[in-house]
Amino acid sequence: MARPNGFALLALLFLSVDTGTAQRPAAKVIWQESQSVTVQLGVRDKFGTLGGYDVVFEVSAVDGRKVTARKHVSGNEFGDVTFPDDFDFTNQFSLRSAGSFSWRAIVGGKAAHGSYRWAGTGREAKVFD
């Protein structure tokens, strides 16, 4: 019986070794999703004149109900808060429902302001000024 040469043995060995590079079937991916609709409110001392300040954001419903959020801002950074996440809704849970709202950012007795319509569903918001 003939003896295989070294090259044939090496080729046979190479072909029989699993290198681990074969593609495995992809596992079924199950996606979990999330979304959140919020309204970002912000104010800024554009040139940093104050060096830093405390701001009180006030969101008011048409019937006068209000919720507030507070923020300390440094330099000329924007002081941003998010409605409804950053606001204190103690005894005011109905302010999370749909409606038209106005807002003020009060610093040292002066206020910036705006308004928006909140869908209240957590899925859409319409902002107008």
**Residue 117: predicted pLDDT:** 85
Of 10, 37, 11, 13, the C-alpha closest to 127 is: 37
Dig out the tokens for 5 from the structure. 């040469």
Would the pLDDT of 39 be above 60? yes
Query: Whose structure tokens read 């007795």?
Result: 109
Cα Rg of the chain (Å, integer): 31
CATH architecture of 39-128: Sandwich (2.60)
Of 113, 129, 110, the C-alpha closest to 49 is: 110
Domain boundaries, the chain: 39-128
Residues 7-38: tens digit of each pLDDT: 444 444 444 445 556 677 778 888 888 777 78
pTM > 0.75: yes or no: no
| Per-state percent for the chain, helix, strand, coil, to nearest 5 | 10, 40, 45
How far from the centroid of its chain's Cα atoms is residue 82's Cα? 10
What mean pLDDT do residues 103-127 have? 78
